[in-house]
Amino acid sequence: MISTGQAAIGLTATAIDGVSTTESKITIHNNDNATHIWIGGPDVTTSNGLLLLKEQSYQFNLMPLEQIYAVSSKTGHIISWMKQSH
> Which domains are assigned to the chain?
2-85 (2.60.120.770)
Q: What is the pLDDT of residue 17?
A: 87
Name the burial class of residue 75, with classes exposed (0-12), middle (13-18) and buried (19+) by CB atoms within 10 angstroms of its CB: exposed
Q: CA 71, CA 86: separation in Å to the nearest integer?
A: 27
- The pLDDT averaged over each successive group of 10 residues in the chain (86 residues) is 95 91 95 96 97 96 95 97 92
Q: What is the pLDDT of residue 46?
A: 96
Residue type present at position 51: L
Q: What is the pLDDT of residue 58?
A: 96
